Amino acid sequence: DTEVTQTPKHLVMGMTNKKSLKCEQHMGHRAMYWYKQKAKKPPELMFVYSYEKLSINESVPSRFSPECPNSSLLNLHLHALQPEDSALYLCASSQELVPTRLDNEQFFGPGTRLTVL
């Protein structure tokens, strides 16, 4: 199984709503990532978890709250978002954050298309 799954595929929410994005992988990867991607732009790194601990937070506003309940799951909790937060949110995983082997490529999920009204 070399797949990263993300749910939901699409999400529309108001600025006062609370919602969560979910990501799952069963490849035994110990590093998991959240990216935000706006149209026609490269993915921008938001958070990185390594061995279920938050390792990197790229100065993301607190209205985005990540959670890693176990080694296979990664959540992104959303609260009081702004319309400019509308984007494709991508989850990725890799063997490890600091690679001990050369093939430490990232595997990406299909993304959640988020629209904030």
Nearer to another protein, 23 or 116 (CB): 23
Given the rule CB under 8 A, which of 12-20, 40-48, 60-68, 74-82 is the region that contacts another protein?
Answer: 40-48
Q: What φ, ψ does residue 56 adopt, rounded to 5°?
A: -135, 130
- The owner of tokens 């080694």 is 71
Site for another protein in 48-87 (CB under 8 A): 48, 56
Does 110 participate in binding another protein (rule CB under 8 A)? yes
Does 40 participate in binding another protein (rule CB under 8 A)? yes
Selected binder of another protein within 25, 33, 78, 116 (CB under 8 A):
33
CB of 18 to another protein, least distance (A): 25
Q: What angle do CA 97, 61, 84 make, to 5 degrees?
A: 110
Selected binder of another protein within 42, 59, 70, 84 (CB under 8 A):
42
